[in-house]
Amino acid sequence: MSSDLLCRTLPYNKATLKAFGFDPDDVTCVELPGGELYELCSGYIAKNASPMSDGSFTLNIGRGKGDAEDDEGRCALPGLGLGLFLFKAPGCQQEVHDDASDSSGSVVELEALVEASAALAEAPKSIQLYALHQTLGEVVGTDCGPKMYKSLVLIAPGRNKVNILQNFVTALLKEADRTEEHKFTCYRWHVQYQYWRNEETTVARPVESVVLPDDTKRKILDDLDDFVAPGTRNWYHDHGIPYKRSYLLYGVPGAGKTSLIQAIAGRYKRNLAILQPSHPDMTDDSLKAAVQRVPHKSIIVLEDVDALFAEGRSKANGNKSSLTFSGVLNALDGVGGCAGQIFVLTTNHRERLDPALIRNGRVDLHIEFTHAGKEQMRGLFLAFYNGADESLADNFANGLTELLGDAKVSAAQLQHYFIVMRKESAEVASKHFAKVLEEAEAHGQMKVEAAVKADEPEKEASEEAAKNKASNNKHGSSDGDGNVSGGKKPQHIHVHIH
C-alpha cells in the first residue's frame, strides 16, 4: 500500500495569511529557506520590525559596542522569533552607495539602513513590507539535537512585485559587502550550508605597524597598487586575461604573514574571506561556489595549502576532504570567479607544493617570510618605543644578534619580549635582550644547554685551555680526538631553535 507523496506548492499556508488579513491571491512572496540571505534579512527585520508586528523575538549572545577603555563585553541582542512582522524597506527602488551609511556589516549587528541614513529613512519610495517567519513539518533529530525546519517568507502586497523584494534583499547584500577604510570584515565559508558566514568586523592595523624588511613589504604593496590602479582592469580585459591576482606567502611561522594580510585588507578596503580547503566536507563544487559567492571586494585566503596534497598530487595525510587537485587549480585560474579577485595562499613549506599549483599565471608573486634579522629587530624596537634614541635600537639589535650566533628568532618572539617589557624604559629594554631567549625557552621554542656559564671572556678561556692541554700532554693522557683527560675542558653554550 503506497502513501501519498508529501507536497507543497506554496511557501505558506493560505489560512495563515487570511488570519493576518491578507488576500493570498493578491500578494507576491519570496521564500528564504536558509543561508546568508536568511541571516541578513532576519537580522535586519529583528532590528526594524514595527511595534504593530504580530511576531515574537529571540535573544542571542553578542558583543556590545564600546571603546577601547570601556568595552561592554557580551550582551543580549534581539533575534527574529516566529510570526508576522511589518517593516519598512527604505530606498529599495534605488542604489545604495558606499557612503550611504556607517554599518559594521555584521549579520547580527547589521545597522538598519533606515537608521544608518536619514535620507534613506525618509525616502518617499520606502515601502511597507511583511515577513512571515514560520516552522514547517515535524521535529527532526540533528547532530545538535531536535530541530524544526524554519523558513522566512518576504511578502509584498500586490501581484508581480518580485522586483521590490529583490531590490530590498540586494540592498542588504550591498550594505553587508560595503567596506570601510582601516576596517575589514572577516567571513568564513560554511561548508555544510554553502554560504559565507560573517564572523566579525575588526579595526585593521596600519600597514606601517607591520614590521617587515622593507623589500618584502614594498614588493607586495607595489604589486597591489598596480593591480587596483585605474586602467589595469581594462588592460587585462583587452588581452583576454582574467582580472585576478594571486600571492603565495611562505616561510617560517610567526614571521608576520597573518598580520600583513589583515593590514592589506584595511589598506585596500577589502573583506577577508577565509577558506579551509582541508575541511572534511569540502568538494570541488563547494570550492567553486565559495569563489562565485564571495562577498564583494574580498581577499580569499587559503591557509596551509601544503596540507592538501602529497607527492604525486595524492591526498596528504590527514586531509579528509573530497577536493581534487584540478578543483583547486580551477579556482585559482578564476574559473567561475568574479573579476578583480585577490587570492592569498599561505604555507610554511613551499618546497612541498606541486609546481603546477604555484607556477606563473596561477600564483603571480611569491613572498618569503624569514626569521627576524637586524633590520626587523631594530624596527620592532622603535615601533614599541616610539621616539626612543635610535642608538638604543642599534644596541638591542646588535647585542641580540651576537648572543644568538647562528640561532634565529621570529618576529612573534620579539613582539612577545616587548609585551613582557612594556613597563620598562627603552634603556632597560635595549640591555635585557637575553630575556628573548629565556622567554623562548619557557615556551618550548628554544632549548638552552649550559653546564656552567663561563666567567672569563672567550679569549681568556681559549688561552687557559691551551695551557691545560700543554700541561696535560706531560702529565695526562689524550684520547683519539685530542681531548685530554685529567685537565680542565673549555665549556660551551649550545642554543637550539625549534
**pLDDT band for position 249 (50/70/90)?**
very high
Is the pLDDT at 139 greater than 50? The verdict is: yes
User: What would the mean pLDDT of 193-202 be, rounded to a whole number?
Assistant: 84
Query: Percent of the chain at pLDDT above 90?
Result: 27
Q: What is the pLDDT of residue 226?
A: 95
Sign of the alpha-carbon dihedral angle for 240, 272, 38, 141 = positive
The single-letter code of the amino acid at 154 is L
Q: What is the pLDDT of residue 60?
A: 84
Q: The whole model's pTM is what?
A: 0.70
Q: What is the pLDDT of residue 92?
A: 52
Rounded-to-integer distance, Cα 275 and Cα 266, Å: 19
Grid coordinates representing 427?
634603556
Residue given cell 527604505 in the structure block: 90
User: What would the mean pLDDT of 97-108 be, rounded to a whole number?
Assistant: 34
Grid coordinates representing 315?
591526498
- Of 326, 332, 338, the residue nearest 362 (C-alpha): 332
Q: What is the pLDDT of residue 73?
A: 73
Q: What is the pLDDT of residue 446?
A: 62
- Of 426, 427, 446, 428, the residue nearest 436 (C-alpha): 446
- Note the pLDDT tens digit of each residue in 276-301: 888 888 888 888 888 888 888 889 99
Q: What is the pLDDT of residue 72?
A: 61
Rounded-to-integer distance, Cα 205 and Cα 202, Å: 9
**pLDDT band for position 1 (50/70/90)?**
low
Rounded-to-integer distance, Cα 474 and Cα 395, Å: 46
**Which of 56-65, 127-136, 251-260, 290-299 bottoms out in mean pLDDT, i.e. has the lowest?**
56-65
Residue given cell 543580549 in the structure block: 76
DSSP conformational letter for 316: P
Angle at 414 between CA 412 and CA 417, to 5 degrees: 115
**pLDDT band for position 335 (50/70/90)?**
low
Q: What is the pLDDT of residue 349?
A: 87
**Which of 118-127, 251-260, 289-298 bottoms out in mean pLDDT, i.e. has the lowest?**
118-127
Contacts of 424 (CB under 8 A, 6+ apart): 432
Rounded-to-integer distance, Cα 316 and Cα 304, Å: 12
- Of 278, 452, 252, 247, the residue nearest 367 (C-alpha): 247
Query: What length does the chain have?
Result: 498
Rounded-to-integer distance, Cα 333 and Cα 125, Å: 42
**pLDDT band for position 28 (50/70/90)?**
very high
- Note the pLDDT tens digit of each residue in 341-375: 899 999 888 888 888 888 888 889 999 999 999 99
**pLDDT band for position 450 (50/70/90)?**
very low
Mean pLDDT of the chain: 78
Domains and CATH numbers, the chain: 14-63+73-178 (no CATH), 201-369 (3.40.50.300), 391-470+487-498 (no CATH)
- Note the pLDDT tens digit of each residue in 48-76: 999 888 899 998 887 765 544 555 677 88
SS3 call for 430 = helix
**pLDDT band for position 378 (50/70/90)?**
very high
